[in-house]
Structure 1
Amino acid sequence: MALNFFDQFMSPTLLGLPLMALALMFPWVLLPTLSSRWLNNRLLTLQSWFINRFTSQLLLPINLGGHKWALMFTSLMIFILTLNMMGLLPYTFTPTTQLSLNMGLAVPLWLATVIIGMRNQPTHSLGHLLPEGTPTPLIPVLIIIETISLFIRPLALGVRLTANLTAGHLLIQLIATAAFILLPLMPTVALMTTTLLFLLTLLEIAVAMIQAYVFVLLLSLYLQENV
């Protein structure tokens, strides 16, 4: 039994061994694999249509030089999406509620976009630190502000994903606990609370999907600035 509401975000262990690696590998088991048949089933067809639409929409504003990132962006989006959705199942653990995991995904990918920009077009990449038409007295201040905002980007990526999922899970647990306690005391109020819990679960499913898309979309925008 959980001692407090935040125990659900602790990395689970079995016989003293952390189960984070198992939680990270489990989503790949949920995805259907391609078959050797001429015609795919409905699930594979829907999955292929979703991946094609997402990839084309994601790469629409990116130059041709950034299209080589398509496979990685699509795989990252599906990976984060399955991790987020898996956390809504009973007796499961959501790895994306851990800031360390999200920062481990955000920092290397953000740094890769910055390195690509510095290597391919350093003048254009450094030009983002100083907007055009800036008054001369404000140049040092704006350079400092833009540099800080550049280094805050990976932190914002990781914190955004962690905070949204953590808040949703906490709210679901609070309302579920309230419904469980109110059931013998006020059944009508408990039924209304259960209905609210169902609607909140639907909202959390949408949040899990949207946050995975936003994470990859922001990375693609960072790539667009440096390609």
Structure 2
Amino acid sequence: MALNFFDQFMSPVYLGIPLITLALTLPWILFPKSSTRWLKNRFMTLQDWFLARFTQQMFQPVNPTGHKWALLLATLMTFLLALNMLGLLPYTFTPTTQLSLNMAMAVPLWLSTVIIGMRNQPTLALAHLLPEGTPVMLIPVLIVIETISLFIRPLALGVRLTANLTAGHLLIQLIATASFVLAPTMPAVAISTTMLLLLLTLLEVAVAMIQAYVFVLLLSLYLQENV
């Protein structure tokens, strides 16, 4: 029975064809496209306002050199937000619960920020490995520690997104199963468990939005260090 709880995190396959590609392309179909009309509809106006506010807040502390990443990170934020939110619907699949997908996004983007720092300002990029004023005896140890922390960053990005979404989905399914099982024997407990399930669902909606924002925010911080 316990193994069935984890079946929801398996990539769905139909007639031997993996459906994760459909899950990744579906969010782009739902977003409204720009039109040639002078006046936009409410949803398009809200979408443009959200993207403008997000880009302004995200890139305000970043040097003008790094503003070239605005389109990429804004697109990534919208994509992750859509995937996380759609994954909360019944009979859907959340691709961001797959560590392989999250690492495929985290590693190239993190590596790009490191390469930009090494190419444009190698002295400043390497200076992050050794804080100023470090005692001579601690220099080798700190260099090793900072190097390890540098290479752990993409792993932390991918694992954080995967673990938070996986834990939330699993907890929702456990509580929903408990409510269904307790309904015939203990209706009062089942009702209270259902109320807890509704509150947890609202919390999971907030987690889905926050984790998408945190993923992009950390990438912008890594970019800020290297531009």
TM-score range with shorter-chain normalisation? over 0.9
- In structure 1, distance between residues paired with 2:32 and 2:190: 38
Moved over 4 A (4+): none
Q: CA deviation at 1:166?
A: 0.2
- In structure 1, distance between residues paired with 2:104 and 2:166: 18
User: Corresponding residue for 1:7?
Assistant: 7
Using a 3 Å threshold, how does the CA distance of structure 1 residues 82 and 2 change in structure 2: closer, same or farther?
Answer: farther
For these two proteins, the number of residue pairs brought into alignment is 227
- In structure 2, distance between residues paired with 1:90 and 1:204: 14
1:87-114 deviation line (CA, Å, top 9, x unaligned): 1011100000000000000000000000
Residue 84 (structure 2) pairs with residue 84 (structure 1): yes
Aligned residues of 1:172 and 1:200 also touching (Cα < 8 A): yes
User: Corresponding residue for 1:200?
Assistant: 200
Matched-pair identity in %: 77
**Residues 1-227 of structure 1: pairs in structure 2 closer than 5 A:** 4-227=4-227
- In structure 1, distance between residues paired with 2:40 and 2:204: 31
Q: Secondary structure at the match of 2:82?
A: helix
Aligned AA for 1:122?
P
- In structure 1, distance between residues paired with 2:122 and 2:11: 41
Q: Secondary structure at the match of 1:132?
A: coil
Q: CA deviation at 1:35?
A: 2.2
Q: CA deviation at 1:224?
A: 0.4
Aligned AA for 2:70?
A
Using a 3 Å threshold, how does the CA distance of structure 1 residues 125 and 3 change in structure 2: closer, same or farther?
Answer: closer
1:173-210 deviation line (CA, Å, top 9, x unaligned): 00000011111111111111111111111110000000
Q: CA deviation at 1:165?
A: 0.1
Aligned AA for 1:54?
F
Aligned residues of 1:178 and 1:193 also touching (Cα < 8 A): yes
- In structure 1, distance between residues paired with 2:175 and 2:35: 43
TM-score, normalised relative to structure 2: 0.98
Q: Secondary structure at the match of 1:180?
A: helix
Q: CA deviation at 1:2?
A: 9.2
- In structure 1, distance between residues paired with 2:30 and 2:180: 31
- In structure 1, distance between residues paired with 2:206 and 2:140: 43
Instruction: Compute the RMSD of aligned alpha carbons.
Output: 1.1
Q: Secondary structure at the match of 2:159?
A: helix
Moved more, 27-36 or 189-198: 27-36
Provide structure 2 residue ranges, at least 5 long, that are not aligned to the other structure. Answer: none
Aligned residues of 1:2 and 1:8 also touching (Cα < 8 A): no
- In structure 1, distance between residues paired with 2:222 and 2:188: 50
Q: CA deviation at 1:218?
A: 0.2
Q: CA deviation at 1:32?
A: 1.5
